[in-house]
């Protein structure tokens, strides 16, 4: 592990995972460094899971004064964040996807928000798409079979949550720009590594709520999310999504919902 010199203990530890995303990672780092908060309040930890981009990521770590953890082994998003969290020195951990770019907002204000509301354990930034609209599924209520049915017929139940411009309590926030108290993260033993990708953020939020913590949005902190840029194919992306969806329902929902979910997938001829 290569550790760049640190002058003082950071408030935030921002973790970015690389896998076939070095060019996107560089754009993300450039955007973060545009805001003085990120230099003054945060350390950045890079986990490189791609041996083919080892030299490029090492160069980025040096250029942007990051902590570098070279694993060259892709064990999944949650496992990689867990690995990096052991090196994190901040009060809060920030999970930042390499395919997001900082647009607006302040870490100082986010720190104040956490301090003002000690029962809030996890906060999600506002994610926007290329049209500057709030990204669907970036925030929502806890998944259920009824919610899936409603969403599949076009009645997106969490649309009202996306439109809110003030912080509010929700069921989950996206792991693409998720901030969590390190004490809470550690008490939950981090992400469940059985989720290779997708639903690990929903699972983390669910478990935090079970422990009495609130999940909140923080719409003034904004990131542009390009989305799904490191997948080799749309097929592999969908396969991982449905596999993780099943794991979530098996873990947190009634058995009859899990059975019906499996049956519905067969009727819909979803091959996963």
| pLDDT tens for each residue of 175-193 | 999 999 999 999 999 999 9
Q: Tell me whether residue 155 is in a domain.
A: yes
Q: How far apart are CA 246 and CA 244, in angstroms?
A: 5
Overall number of domains in the chain: 1
- Reference 168, options 105, 135, 209, 124; nearest CA is 124
Per the model's pLDDT, the better-predicted residue between 8 and 21 turns out to be 21
For residue 77, give its domain range: 12-231
Q: Tell me whether residue 126 is in a domain.
A: yes
Q: Give the pLDDT band of residue 165 (cuts 50, 70, 90).
A: confident
- Reference 156, options 176, 174, 138; nearest CA is 138
What percentage of the chain carries pLDDT values higher than 70?
Answer: 91
Q: Give the pLDDT band of residue 104 (cuts 50, 70, 90).
A: very high
Q: Give the pLDDT band of residue 272 (cuts 50, 70, 90).
A: low
Confidence (pLDDT) at 229: 57
Contacts of 69 (CB under 8 A, 6+ apart): 1, 45, 46, 47, 48, 83, 84, 87
Q: Tell me whether residue 59 is in a domain.
A: yes
Q: Tell me whether residue 36 is in a domain.
A: yes
Q: Tell me whether residue 170 is in a domain.
A: yes
Residue 264, pLDDT > 90, answer no
Confidence (pLDDT) at 222: 97
Per-residue pLDDT tens over the stretch 40-68: 999 999 999 999 999 999 999 999 999 99
Q: How far apart are CA 26 and CA 68, in angstroms?
A: 14
Q: Tell me whether residue 175 is in a domain.
A: yes
Q: Give the pLDDT band of residue 162 (cuts 50, 70, 90).
A: confident
Check which CATH number belongs to the domain holding 19 and give it. 3.90.550.10
Confidence (pLDDT) at 158: 66
Tokens of 217: 């949005």
Q: What pTM was computed for the model?
A: 0.92
Q: Tell me whether residue 243 is in a domain.
A: no
Per-residue pLDDT tens over the stretch 222-257: 999 997 655 567 788 899 999 999 999 999 999 999
Q: Give the pLDDT band of residue 4 (cuts 50, 70, 90).
A: very low
Q: Tell me whether residue 122 is in a domain.
A: yes
Q: Which residues pair with 47 in a beta bridge?
A: 17, 69
Q: Kindly tell me the sign of the dihedral angle through the C-alpha atoms of 49, 51, 57, 61.
A: positive
């Amino acid at each position: 592990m290569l550790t760049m010199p640190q002058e003082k203990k950071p408030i935030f530890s921002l973790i970015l995972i690389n896998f076939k995303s070095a060019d996107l990672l560089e754009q993300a780092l450039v955007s973060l460094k545009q805001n003085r908060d990120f230099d003054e309040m945060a350390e950045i930890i890079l986990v490189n899971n791609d041996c083919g981009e080892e030299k490029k990521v090492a160069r980025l770590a040096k250029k942007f004064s990051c902590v570098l953890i070279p694993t060259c082994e892709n064990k999944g998003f949650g496992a990689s964040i867990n690995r990096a969290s052991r090196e994190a020195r901040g009060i809060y951990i920030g999970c930042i996807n390499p395919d997001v770019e900082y647009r607006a907002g302040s870490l100082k204000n986010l720190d104040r928000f956490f301090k003002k509301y000690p029962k809030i354990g996890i906060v999600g930034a506002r994610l926007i798409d290329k049209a500057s609209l709030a990204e669907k599924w970036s925030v929502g209520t806890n998944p259920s079979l009824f919610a899936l049915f409603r969403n599949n017929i076009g009645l997106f139940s969490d649309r009202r949550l996306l439109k809110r411009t003030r912080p509010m309590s929700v069921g989950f926030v996206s792991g693409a720009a998720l901030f969590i108290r390190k004490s809470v993260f550690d008490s939950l033993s981090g992400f469940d590594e059985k989720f290779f990708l997708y639903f690990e953020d929903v699972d983390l939020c669910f478990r935090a709520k079970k422990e009495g913590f609130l999940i909140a949005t923080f719409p003034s902190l904004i990131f542009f999310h390009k989305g799904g840029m490191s997948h080799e194919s749309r097929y592999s992306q969908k396969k991982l999504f449905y596999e993780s969806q099943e794991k979530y329902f098996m873990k947190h929902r009634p058995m009859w919902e899990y059975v019906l979910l499996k049956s519905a997938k067969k009727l819909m001829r979803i091959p996963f």
